[in-house]
Amino acid sequence: MVLAALILAFQSIRLGGFERGGDTPLGLKLGLDLQGGIHLVYQAKLEDPVTGEFTVPSSAQMESLKASIERRVNRSGLGEPIILILGEDRLLVQLPGVEDITRAKSIIGETARLEFKHRTFDVPEDIEGLTEDSIVGVRIEERRPASATSTVDVADGAADMATGTAAVSGAATSTPDTADAEPDPTPVFVVQLTPEAADALEATVAELDASLVPVGGTNEIFASFLVVDYQGDTPQTYEITSDPVVAIGPGQVFPFEGAPNIERVEGTDTFRIVIPPHVATSTDAALAIYGDNPGLSLTKISGKSDEDIGLTGDDLARAYAGQHTGTGAPIVNIEFSDSGARIFGDLTSEIAGTADQIAIILDDEELVAPVVQQAITSGVAFIQGHDFTVERVRDLALLLESGRLPIPIGDPILERNVGPSLGQASLNKSVVAGSIGLALVLAFMVLYYRVPGVVAAVALLLYTSLLLAMFKIIPVTLTLSGVAAAILSIGMAVDANILIFERMKEELRQGRTLLASINIGFNRAWPAIRDSNVSTLITCAILFWFADQLGASVVQGFAVTLAIGVAISLFSAIFVSRTFLRIVAETGVGRHLNLFVPAGAEDLPQVASRKASRGS
């Protein structure tokens, strides 16, 4: 009882690697219907590689899928899931207490291929399909801004940037002093291309646009540029992005409001390419530099280029979260197989100390792209980052190691987010129901059985404490049906006491002493107690088996909780109640037999003999 009291007294228990409890009432593990959380149903999609038709997965494949998802969720820190196979090809995943459904689905359903690539920066690339011969003509014109109130968007910290950090751009900007003034027109190249070259340049501009989007869920932007190169009497070369931007730090840009730097004239094969202010601030200045018949070439510079090196998730032996031994910062430890270690060693030896990165990509989405500080030939390394948190390194290690699920499952066919307020309402009603049930049982036992009833009431309170402590320490996921089973087990716990008390009453009526009646009553009631409780345990086992086969988590929770309650009630009746009754029998209360039987104490032989001795 002391141990049970300590278990319930502390919200969380941590002893070495053993952890129990949380921020729920008494630290109990609550199910989806009591705590709120996420309910997902997936359908496995197994495609025949020959016919392309979907087939029903085998039971072994479904069990493997279940184990993989369970391992992912358990390691992610999302809590211990309830995962059940429904029918032949469906999987139920319940995550009690989890609110971030996007993160949950990402961890559960990730089926991507893991790749390690060599990333370089600012790589010149010819624009395929665009040559000097495909440039039909070039002239210089002016483009007047559509609005005189174009401004620089300075949100998210860009307000602190210095005015000198502006990247090359032809977009007009305004200040409070010049907001009402008409901005100067922007000089532009008007480039006439062949239809094929125009399409190629348009595709390149789309790639330039895409490069202005942050990658990998970070703020890093690897902007790609178009190099405009004029070779003539006055050679000029400059770079521009597809849209006007301002540089606010390494790997970061912020867009201007204004017309794009490169745009295709609608319905034609003509492009306007802005001439930035640092080259020429007006059309006259541009004409003075380039003349009336300028000639130019266009080249793309990719902000980043990822080279496939043949290193994939198949070469990764292990990945796990940890802490840096020196700083204690969260890190991701990675270990490669022998073949992976050779490839990884060659790459790190090549790029160590440079700005090149190793891009780790899952399903075409970047997870992380670390730089290499030194050559690593052992195949064992770690990844660290200034923005790494415990949760992020855990998720990252999980995605690195898990790789691909044994069976693709796609998006869930059913998803439901149970709000914590609904779960709290169910929990409150369960507590009220349990309290009323316990109070009624205690009142009946005390009023009818008197002193034995008081003993049973005390034993029942101790039983309740033992039951809750056991639920917490195993732990048992308490669902609404589980709470119903716990309330039912309270009534079943006193059932054993009633059998004992009735047998004890019979022994007293045969003239035995109170202590002898207690011992014999327990011994003779035991077979009935044993058989009734064993039959209940068998029923619980049958319910659990059928619930496991049919995916009925509600019935399964009921069966488990009731079985534990019955087992503890056996202990409570045989050890707790009998011990307390023996103690009471040795006290002065034991001389008042009328306090140990519900009625008819005057007819007991012991009472009659006492009256006769007093009368004589």
Yes or no: say if 477 and 26 are a contact pair by the CB < 8 Å rule.
no
Question: Helix or strand or coil: residue 514?
Answer: helix
pLDDT at residue 535, rounded to an integer: 94
Whole-number average pLDDT of the chain: 80
In whole angstroms, how large is the CA radius of gyration of the chain?
A: 39
**How far apart are the C-alpha atoms of 125 and 302, rounded to whole Å?**
7
More confident residue, 272 or 400: 272
Assess whether the previous peptide bond of 183 is cis (omega < 30° from 0).
Answer: no
Q: How many residues are present in the chain?
A: 616
With cut-offs at 50, 70 and 90, classify the pLDDT of residue 152.
Answer: very low
CA distances from 371 to 120, 309, 314, 350, 398 (A): 11, 16, 22, 12, 21
pTM for the model: 0.49
pLDDT above 70 (res 423)? no
Say if residue 300's pLDDT is above 80: yes
What is residue 163's predicted lDDT score, i.e. its pLDDT? 26
The amino acid at 150: S
Query: φ and ψ at 28, to 5 degrees?
Result: -75, 155
Q: What is the pLDDT at residue 425?
A: 79
What is the rounded average pLDDT of the residues 477-505? Answer: 85
Stretch among 9-18, 173-182, 191-200, 555-564 having the lowest mean pLDDT: 173-182
Confidence of residue 145 (pLDDT cuts 50, 70, 90): low
Rounded to an integer, what distance in angstroms lies between the CA atom of residue 356 and that of residue 341? Answer: 19
For position 88, what pLDDT does the model report? Answer: 82
Q: What is the pLDDT of residues 240-273, one digit of tens each?
A: 888 888 766 656 777 777 788 899 998 899 999 9
At 304, the pLDDT band (50, 70, 90 cuts) reads confident
In contact, 382 and 318? CB cutoff 8 Å: no
DSSP 152: B
Q: Which residue has the higher pLDDT, 508 or 362?
A: 508
Q: What local confidence, expressed as pLDDT, does residue 614 receive?
A: 59
For the ranges 70-79, 291-300, 329-338, the lowest mean pLDDT is seen at: 70-79
Instruction: Please tell me the distance from the alpha carbon of residue 6 to that of residue 302, in angstroms, as a whole number.
Output: 63
Amino acid letter, residue 253: V
Least confident of 9-23, 316-330, 345-359, 439-453: 9-23
Residue 158, pLDDT > 80, answer no
Helices 420-449 and 451-473 pack at an angle, to 10 degrees, of 150
Q: Calculate the CA 430 to chain-centre distance.
A: 28
**b/e 21-52 (16+ beta carbons within 10 angstroms → b):** bbebeebbbbbbbbbbbbbbbbbbebeeeeee
Sign, Cα dihedral of 69, 70, 73, 75: negative
* Tokens encoding 12: 């969380």
Please, which pLDDT band fits residue 149 given cuts at 50, 70 and 90?
very low
Would you give the DSSP letter of residue 226?
E
Separation between Cα atoms, residue 139 and residue 272, nearest integer Å: 10
- What is the residue type of 190? V
Measuring CA to CA, which residue among 94, 24, 23, 32 is closest to residue 479? 32
Packed helices 578-585 and 451-473: angle between N→C axes, nearest 10 degrees: 150
* Residues whose CB is less than 8 angstroms from the CB of residue 356 and which lie 6 or more positions away in sequence, other chains included: 118, 119, 120, 121, 371, 372
**What is the per-residue pLDDT for 250?**
59
Give the list of residues 6+ apart from residue 611 with CB closer than 8 angstroms, or none: none
Which band of pLDDT confidence, cut at 50, 70 and 90, is reported for residue 212?
Answer: confident
At which residue do the structure tokens 């006491």 appear?
497
Give the SS3 label for residue 574: helix
Who has greater pLDDT, 139 or 249? 139
DSSP 253-304: EEEBSS--SEEEPTTSSEEEEE--TTT-SSHHHHHHHH-SS--EEEEEEEEE
Identify the CA nearest to 278 among candidates 286, 266, 268, 290: 286
How many CB atoms are closer than 10 A to CB 121?
A: 15
Question: What's the rounded Cα separation, in Å, for the pair 531 and 540?
Answer: 14
Identify whether the C-beta of residue 607 lies closer than 8 Å to the C-beta of residue 593.
yes
Calculate the dihedral angle through the C-alpha atoms of 238, 241, 246, 249, rounding to the nearest 10 degrees.
Answer: -90
Q: What is the pLDDT of residues 86-137, one digit of tens each?
A: 888 888 888 877 878 887 887 777 654 678 999 898 888 888 888 888 888 8
Per-residue confidence band for 12, with pLDDT thresholds at 50, 70 and 90: confident
Strands 37-43, 90-96: pairing is antiparallel
- Give the pLDDT score at 539: 95
Per residue in 28-78, pLDDT (tens digit) is 888 777 777 888 888 887 776 667 677 888 887 787 678 778 777 776 666
Output the 3-class SS for 237-251: EEEECCCCEEEEECC
Q: Which of 158-162, 221-225, 321-325 has the lowest mean pLDDT?
A: 158-162
Nearest to 197 by CA among 268, 142, 143: 268
Cβ neighbour number for residue 318 with a 10 Å cutoff? 13
Quote the CA–CA distance of 348 and 593 in Å, as a whole number: 88
Helix (H, G, I), strand (E, B) or coil at 160: helix
| The predicted structure's pLDDT at residue 150 | 37
Torsion of CA 191, 196, 201, 205, to 10 degrees: 130
What is the pLDDT at residue 547?
Answer: 81
Q: What's the mean pLDDT in 388-407?
A: 74
Alpha-carbon distance 376 to 116, whole Å?
Answer: 15
Task: Of 21-25, 208-212, 289-293, 418-422, give the range with the top mean pLDDT.
Answer: 208-212
pLDDT at 291 over 90: no
